């Protein structure tokens, strides 16, 4: 297993060149007014498959051996990772089995099935319990298990390449608001920006019902599992990866914890002010500014909007 470094991130950039979109970054006058500093949106919600997860999926799957491709892979997903893996696996001809929590977003579930993956609903509502089932099945069947986040290659591709684009396309940004679930995006992103811009600030944004990063920082070790809880922001539920925490522990400058209602308001805000549909997991960064929980922002700020995949039934709840 390679270690996270700038060479690995550059390898990922080369591997993804021509395979994914370089998503736009644009100013948000309304968030700038709320934050009292210039705020820019990195619209990874406009990425292929509807989220940043395609970055890590391409990088890792494209480097499987011929034997591994023939045997196929097993993975676990709250939705976006599975959709990205199913997309890449179909193109590369890799048999794929995806384990998902029982209450996975229906739109994401249907997308994975439509892409040809074998999708297995867990008996559990939580991500962490579902992942244990998936790991056990991979071990039993002799197939590789593809983690959604706790792998240096995932950090390099899902977070590092994203950060490189933000740094190049928004050179004035010195504060970065990132969604944090398992930590793949946040860990790779923080590693890159703290390496090239030592004066930058990184704020991790989490659901208050699953504050794995906040707890990990408090305890000084990765909190890798948490009790399941009901949320529409499935990408924010569950524990933090150990490799992800190693990347974040000295590089994150603060954590903002948001509630379900505040996240819903972030979704509504993006529809009303920017006419972009984003998913609840992605709205946590917007909510951090709207509520003031991101703290006082003293420099131009880039906000990562991580995805757009949301079921119509969930959207109706949010807009009701």
Q: Which CATH architecture has domain 6-51+155-319?
A: 3-Layer(aba) Sandwich (3.40)
Residue 1's pLDDT is: 79
First to last CA, the chain: 47
Cα distance between residue 103 and residue 232, in whole Å:
9
Name the strands in the sheet holding 25-27, side by side, starting at the edge strand that comes first in the sequence.
25-27, 39-43, 301-305, 175-179, 201-207, 254-258
Each of the 320 residues of the chain gets a pLDDT tens digit; together they read 799 999 999 999 999 999 999 999 999 999 999 999 999 999 999 999 999 999 999 999 999 999 999 999 999 999 999 999 999 999 999 999 999 999 899 889 999 999 999 999 999 988 999 999 999 999 999 999 999 999 999 999 999 999 999 999 999 999 999 999 999 999 999 999 999 999 999 999 999 999 999 999 999 999 999 999 999 999 999 999 999 999 999 999 999 999 999 999 999 999 999 999 999 999 999 999 999 999 999 999 999 999 999 999 999 999 99
The correct CATH number of 54-146 out of 3.40.50.1980, 1.20.200.10, 3.40.50.1100, 3.40.228.10 is: 3.40.50.1100
Contact 186, 212 (CB under 8 A): no
Residue 113's pLDDT is: 96
Tell me the domain boundaries of the chain.
6-51+155-319, 54-146
Token pair, residue 256, equals 């903002």
Q: At what angle do helices 280-290 and 260-269 cross, to 10 degrees?
A: 90
Q: Whole-model pTM?
A: 0.97
Same fold, 6-51+155-319 and 54-146: yes
Chain-centroid distance, C-alpha 59:
15
């Amino acid at each position: 297993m390679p270690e996270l470094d700038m060479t690995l991130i550059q390898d990922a950039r080369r591997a993804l060149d021509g395979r994914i979109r370089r998503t736009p970054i644009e100013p948000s006058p309304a968030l700038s007014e709320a934050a009292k500093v210039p705020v820019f949106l990195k619209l990874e919600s406009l990425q292929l498959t509807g989220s940043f997860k395609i970055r890590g999926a391409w990088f890792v799957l494209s480097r499987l051996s011929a034997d591994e491709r023939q045997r196929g892979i097993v993975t676990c997903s709250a939705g976006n990772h599975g959709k990205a893996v199913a997309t890449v696996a179909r193109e590369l001809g890799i048999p794929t089995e995806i384990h998902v929590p029982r209450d996975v977003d229906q739109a994401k579930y249907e997308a994975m099935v439509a892409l040809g993956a074998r999708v297995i609903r867990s008996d559990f509502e939580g991500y962490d319990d579902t992942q244990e089932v998936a790991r056990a099945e991979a071990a039993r069947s002799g197939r590789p298990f593809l983690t959604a986040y706790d792998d240096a290659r995932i950090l390099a591709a899902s977070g590092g390449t994203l950060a490189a684009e933000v740094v190049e396309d928004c050179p004035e940004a010195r504060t970065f608001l990132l969604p944090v679930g398992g930590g793949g995006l946040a860990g790779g992103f923080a590693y890159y920006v703290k390496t090239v811009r030592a004066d930058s600030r990184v704020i991790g944004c989490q659901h208050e019902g699953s504050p794995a990063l906040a707890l990990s920082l408090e305890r000084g070790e990765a909190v890798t599992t948490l009790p399941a809880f009901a949320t529409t922001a499935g990408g924010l539920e569950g524990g933090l990866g150990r490799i992800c925490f190693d990347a974040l522990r000295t590089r994150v400058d603060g954590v903002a914890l948001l509630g379900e209602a505040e996240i819903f308001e972030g979704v509504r805000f993006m529809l009303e002010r920017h006419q972009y549909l984003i998913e609840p997991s992605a709205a946590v960064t917007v909510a951090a500014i709207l509520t003031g929980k991101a703290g006082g922002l003293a420099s131009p700020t880039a906000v990562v909007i991580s995805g757009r995949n949301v079921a119509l039934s969930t959207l109706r709840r949010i807009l009701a």
